[in-house]
Amino acid sequence: MFEHNIQLNRDKVSNLINWGHWFAFFNGLLAIIIGSRYISTLGEPDTWLGWSYLILYTVGQFSFLAFIIYLIFLFPVTLLAPYSRVLRGFAATIATIGQCILLYDTVIFSDYGLHLSPFAFELAWTDINSLLSGGKLLLAPVLFLAFQLTLANYLWKRIVTLQKCNFGHKVLIIIGICFVSSHLSHIWADATNVTDITRYDDAYPLSYPATAKTFMERHGIERQDSTKLNSHNDGSLTYPLTFPQCKSDIKPNILFISVNSFRKDMVNSDTMPFLYQYSQESLHFTHHFSGGTSFNSGMFSMLYAIQGSYSSAIELSYTSPVITQQLKKSGYDLELFSDQTNIDYSSPKAMFNDFKLNLTPKPQNSAMTDVAVVKSFKNWRKKQIKPWLALVTLNATATYDTPVGFLGIKTIKAPIEYQPEQRVLFNQYRQAAHFTDQQLKVLISNIDKDTIVIVTGAKGAAFDINSNNTKSSLTPENVNVPLIIHGLQLGARKVNYRTSHYGIAPTLMSLILGCTNPSTDYSSGQSLMSPDSQDWIYVSDQKAFAIYQNDEVTVIDNHGKYRIYNPDLTQRLKKKLSAPELIEVIREGRRLYQ
């Protein structure tokens, strides 16, 4: 009798375990249905290869999540409290919570491109009214609970029948094949850079597809570049949203000068007398921001005129900036005069595709490279008969270089708050800036009066002795740069409202090319001729990004951790995240993904 009771108890536990497996399986199917919302956000695959991977990935990932939830929450209860009513009620509750979390995660992912995390939750909570508009999502817990209770009871009544069918192991094998195959496929796709597959890396929550990077780096194998293979694949990024409609009868020449590591406080009568005087005769934007903290990110924000978050999009590896596309279409000759190193490390690779490259090998001294760059421009300009745009980059200020024997300016007392090392850098930089001023004079002198001249900095320069500090790289000294525009009969005046690199391309598109499209079709900014309607500016770094507002700066790292500072980034403020602006930033960073 005692052994009979033990056997009955074992059979009961066995039935409960089998029931739990089937309950997890059907919840996995429900999760797949809910998870389809992620695909509508990211866009459907364009090839059969993409669809094949996505099916394997979806079935494997959501079935795996359902099984993990069963293993953690339900299996221990099955052993400790093997009572079917208790287990069914508990399982329905856990499943309801899990499916609601998944549903709300799809909503947040659709709006912000983020999966649920403490940071995303805090952000979503401040925007809860927008996310739950209509009230339909509020009914989800009730509907899910009713469904889960019905499913739990239905499966329990038919568990014996399901066991007799004896195809549970077949279902398990199919799910296992899907899970393993999706990871093997991703290893291959990661090794060969097949974007139809790797574009879904962050699609699902708690998903960590296997990669080949560690193995390949260990064995010295280079990843293949399939950019050319996919050059006709539109992917998910649509840039521009609508190609500009432009018509203009004037075609002035354009001299565009980008000084690497350019501080706005150096444009004064002592350090840069020529540029200072020139600024008095031009539009001088006194509160101008770069979009990045490196030469590459600054040039990206200047030419593409979109947030740095787009710079890694594979589509931009073969799509050049709209402004250069349109200039070329309008009959302009585009020439780039630069240091070879700047172009070698430029990203995306298509950034300068519309330019003919006139590059100077970099010697030991950047100042001598600048001399060669200026000389190349002067020789080229003499031969031009068509309208032209010349993009000239100068680098002496980035390396504090001057030529040997250069007669500079007198050293002055550095600001009192500077550390000893910073005081040395301050006067070294002034010498390099003075040398750059002389090169600007050579470039701009004798230019035709109808030529439009733009002088700005790819990025700013902070006399920082701790360059690995994320906050330091995003300080105003690193992102505030001069901007001087001469020509177009715009007159001479100081512009004191905030502007950014994102507005340069829209300004040229409207004033020179006569483009009538709204700038939102191809830019994150608007014309510099009027104050921006946004009260924030996005600046990106390799490790973080900053949101500059009038009274505060929010710095967010790639782990979602944030800190809020005063406008000079000298003091941390005890404030909560300003969610409306951050939400605008995130939506702007996803607006071009269709």
Adjacent-strand bridge partners of 483: 285, 456
57 sits in which H/E element: helix 48-69
Average pLDDT over the chain, rounded to whole? 87
| Residue 421 confidence (pLDDT) | 85
| Cα 575 to Cα 538, 554, 579, distances in angstroms | 19, 10, 12
Question: For residue range 422-464, what is the model confidence (pLDDT) as tens digits?
Answer: 888 999 999 999 999 999 999 998 898 889 999 999 999 998 7
Mean per-residue pLDDT, 194-205: 84
pLDDT band at 116 (very low <50, low <70, confident <90, very high): confident
Asked whether the predicted pLDDT for residue 132 surpasses 80, the reply is no
Rounded Cα gap, residues 308 and 301, in angstroms: 7
Residue 164, classified by CB atoms within 10 Å of its CB into exposed (0-12), middle (13-18) or buried (19+), is exposed
Give yes or no for a contact between 190 and 44, defined as CB atoms under 8 angstroms apart. Answer: no
Domain boundaries, given as residue ranges, for the chain: 2-218, 254-336+363-534
Asked whether the predicted pLDDT for residue 485 surpasses 60, the reply is yes
| Residue 446 confidence (pLDDT) | 81
Asked whether the predicted pLDDT for residue 470 surpasses 80, the reply is no
pLDDT band at 594 (very low <50, low <70, confident <90, very high): low
Question: For residue range 286-301, what is the model confidence (pLDDT) as tens digits?
Answer: 999 999 999 999 999 9
| Residue 468 confidence (pLDDT) | 55
CA neighbor of 556 nearest in space, from 569, 568, 543: 543
CA neighbor of 58 nearest in space, from 37, 30, 35, 24: 35
| Residue 225 confidence (pLDDT) | 41
Residue type at 518 in one-letter notation: P
Asked whether the predicted pLDDT for residue 469 surpasses 70, the reply is no
Measured in whole angstroms, how far is the alpha carbon of residue 296 from the centre of its chain?
14
Ranking 71-75, 165-169, 183-187, 501-505 by mean pLDDT, the lowest is 165-169
Asked whether the predicted pLDDT for residue 565 surpasses 60, the reply is yes
**Which one-letter DSSP state was computed for residue 246?**
B
Collapse the DSSP code of 157 into the 3-class scheme (helix H, G, I; strand E, B; otherwise coil) and give the result: helix
Q: Taking phi first (over 0 means left), then psi (-120 to 50 degrees means alpha), and beta for anything else, what does residue 193 get?
A: left
| Residue 3 confidence (pLDDT) | 54
Asked whether the predicted pLDDT for residue 346 surpasses 70, the reply is yes
User: By percentage, how much of the chain surpasses pLDDT 70?
Assistant: 90
Cα angle, residue 314 at apex, residues 522 and 504 outer, rounded to 5° = 30
Give yes or no for a contact between 481 and 290, defined as CB atoms under 8 angstroms apart. Answer: yes
Length of the chain in terms of residues written: 594
What pTM does this model have?
Answer: 0.77
Please give the full DSSP string across 310-329, using - where no structure is assigned: GTT-GGGGS---HHHHHHHH
CA neighbor of 442 nearest in space, from 264, 281, 278, 269: 278
Is the domain 254-336+363-534 a CATH 3.40.720.10 member?
yes
